């Protein structure tokens, strides 16, 4: 097996590897009663969501190496010691030690499936019979948003301590994959293992953008705390040269502002997608430029906005407006992940077809518009276009609260 060294030095370099998780029964195992606890405002139709997801994965399989979480997890479970270690860790952290032996008896493939889709509760005692929960080990309803649990930054992987405990197991699984899978060469960094760990440290991948080898853009709000960003500043390697962290404060409401990549994403060497009211217009949410040297923050200054901060650092970007110039269209399309694009090469991106005004704004800036089904079938060739937006259906996936960037965890990109 040829090894793959983790290397992410930008948001837009040509993609050489990405981790996905195709939504499965864990999504169907959601009920109206537990949807809010699972961080959803509604339940999804799995059959529709899977067909839409097939467009995302189908396009990416055309352009890069695609790895599925379940397959990677099954691979590492072929080692009895890894299997035992991970099952112990998960059952202890999830207060499910009663099912440890049941899990250890499973094949690697079955165990991988159970740890993601959930373990139904056996009604073999009065306590279990009266328990309103359907599961001994809850399904990971959010795992198809693979972006959040871990973040590749240069040659390391940050294991994110997410804000809500219901997602803790996702981080444990991703850490185990990067630590134990023979395919990957990397170093994992987990704040929970730090001597300086504090309960208020939280980071989620949707808030962490690698703009350049020396520049991170990080959102802070209900999911990523200021303490989490302080931890990032301490851990990013910075002894060769100063590093920069551009911090954007995010509103607590509405829920569509959950992560930075819902209002700002990079599209090309000189283009970015922005939700104008928050990113460009005057408001009460600060944009800060942190300079980091030798793992210490040496300066903090307020800047007008993210594009201005990038321009000051020699990385000028032209904003393209999510929803176009009409504020009603902007609000509507931002709600449906209209700013959440994933670049698989410079100027080559993928996102939801439903956001018509955003797609029109991209087209006016020279992005050819291709439908995912035409790319997958071979009717259209991405390489025939200098800049392109590949559109996927998103009537159901968008209701989950995320877009193409949320559903992808890149692990290697070409330098440029």
pLDDT score recorded for residue 129: 66
pLDDT score recorded for residue 197: 84
Domain assignment of residue 53, given as a range: 4-413
Q: What gap in Å lies between CA 65 and CA 6, rounded to an integer?
A: 13
Judge whether 13 and 346 are in contact, CB under 8 Å: yes
Is the pLDDT at 35 greater than 90? The verdict is no
The whole-number average pLDDT for the span 290-308 is 95
Banded model confidence at residue 33, pLDDT cuts 50, 70, 90? low
pLDDT score recorded for residue 327: 96
Residues 6+ apart with CB under 8 A from 137: 90, 91, 94, 96, 99, 114, 115, 118, 119
pLDDT score recorded for residue 93: 93
pLDDT score recorded for residue 40: 57
Q: What gap in Å lies between CA 356 and CA 370, rounded to an integer?
A: 13
The whole-number average pLDDT for the span 157-180 is 96
Q: What are phi and psi of 74, to 5 degrees?
A: -60, -40
pLDDT score recorded for residue 28: 83
Judge whether 339 and 345 are in contact, CB under 8 Å: no
Tokens of 272: 């970015």
What is the count of structural domains for the chain?
Answer: 1
pLDDT score recorded for residue 238: 56
CA distances from 126 to 121, 132, 192 (A): 12, 12, 36
pLDDT score recorded for residue 130: 65
Is the pLDDT at 311 greater than 90? The verdict is yes
pLDDT score recorded for residue 237: 64
Is the pLDDT at 1 greater than 70? The verdict is no
Q: 35 or 324: whose pLDDT is higher? A: 324
pLDDT score recorded for residue 122: 79
pLDDT score recorded for residue 196: 78
pLDDT score recorded for residue 146: 97
Q: Specify the CATH number for the domain of residue 143.
A: 3.75.10.10
pLDDT score recorded for residue 36: 54
Judge whether 175 and 161 are in contact, CB under 8 Å: no
Residue 308: how many other CB atoms lie within 10 Å: 16
Tokens of 42: 């509604």
Banded model confidence at residue 34, pLDDT cuts 50, 70, 90? low
Average predicted confidence (pLDDT) for the chain: 93
Query: Quick one: what percent of the chain has pLDDT higher than 70?
Result: 94
Tokens of 90: 């998960």
pLDDT in tens, 100-124: 999 999 999 999 999 999 998 876 7
The whole-number average pLDDT for the span 363-392 is 98
pLDDT score recorded for residue 218: 98
pLDDT score recorded for residue 44: 85
Banded model confidence at residue 187, pLDDT cuts 50, 70, 90? very high
Q: What is the pTM of this model?
A: 0.95
Q: What are phi and psi of 124, to 5 degrees?
A: -105, 15
Q: What are phi and psi of 153, to 5 degrees?
A: -130, 110
The whole-number average pLDDT for the span 164-184 is 96
- DSSP secondary structure code for residue 9 in this structure: -
Q: What gap in Å lies between CA 133 and CA 152, rounded to an integer?
A: 35
pLDDT score recorded for residue 41: 56
pLDDT score recorded for residue 43: 75
Q: What are phi and psi of 345, to 5 degrees?
A: -170, 165
Query: Quick one: what percent of the chain has pLDDT higher than 90?
Result: 82
Banded model confidence at residue 254, pLDDT cuts 50, 70, 90? confident
Judge whether 271 and 347 are in contact, CB under 8 Å: yes
Using a 10 angstrom Cβ sphere, with 0-12 exposed, 13-18 middle and 19 or more buried, the burial of residue 376 is middle
CA distances from 98 to 134, 208, 287 (A): 15, 37, 48
């Amino acid at each position: 097996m040829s090894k793959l060294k983790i290397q992410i030095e930008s948001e837009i370099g040509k993609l050489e590897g990405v981790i996905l998780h195709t939504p499965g029964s864990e999504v169907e195992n959601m009920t109206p009663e537990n949807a809010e606890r699972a961080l959803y405002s509604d339940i999804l139709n799995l059959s529709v969501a899977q067909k839409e997801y097939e467009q995302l994965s189908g396009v990416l399989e055309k352009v890069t190496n695609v790895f599925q979480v379940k397959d990677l997890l099954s691979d590492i479970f072929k080692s009895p010691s890894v299997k035992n270690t991970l099952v112990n860790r998960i059952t202890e952290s999830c207060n499910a030690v009663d099912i440890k032996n049941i899990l250890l008896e499973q094949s690697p493939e079955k165990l991988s499936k159970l740890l993601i889709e959930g373990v139904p509760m056996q009604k073999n005692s009065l306590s279990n019979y009266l328990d309103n929960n359907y599961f001994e080990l809850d399904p990971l309803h959010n795992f198809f948003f693979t972006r959040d649990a871990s973040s590749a930054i240069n040659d390391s992987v940050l294991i994110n301590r997410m804000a809500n405990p219901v997602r803790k197991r996702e981080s444990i699984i991703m850490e185990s994959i990067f630590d134990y899978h023979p395919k990957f060469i990397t170093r994992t960094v987990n704040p929970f293992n730090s001597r300086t760990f504090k309960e208020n440290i939280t980071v989620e991948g949707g808030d962490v953008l690698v703009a350049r080898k020396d520049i991170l853009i990080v959102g802070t709000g209900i999911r990523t705390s200021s303490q989490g960003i302080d931890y990032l500043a301490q851990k990013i390697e910075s002894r060769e040269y100063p590093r920069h962290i551009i911090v954007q404060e995010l509103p607590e409401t509405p829920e569509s502002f959950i992560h930075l990549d819902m209002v700002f994403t990079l599209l090309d060497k000189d283009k970015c997608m922005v939700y104008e009211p928050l990113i460009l217009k005057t408001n009460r949410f600060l944009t800060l430029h942190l300079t980091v040297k030798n793992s210490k923050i040496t300066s903090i200054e307020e800047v007008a906005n993210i594009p201005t901060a990038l321009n000051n650092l020699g990385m000028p970007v032209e904003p393209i407006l999510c929803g176009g110039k009409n504020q009603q269209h902007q609000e509507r399309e931002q709600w449906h992940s209209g700013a959440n694009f994933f670049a698989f090469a410079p100027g080559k991106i993928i996102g939801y077809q439903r956001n018509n005004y955003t797609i029109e704004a991209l087209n006016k800036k020279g992005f050819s518009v291709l439908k995912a089904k035409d790319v997958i079938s071979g009717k259209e060739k991405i390489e025939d276009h200098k800049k392109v937006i590949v559109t996927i259906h998103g009537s159901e996936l968008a209701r989950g609260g995320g877009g193409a960037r949320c559903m992808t965890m890149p692990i290697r990109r070409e330098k440029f």
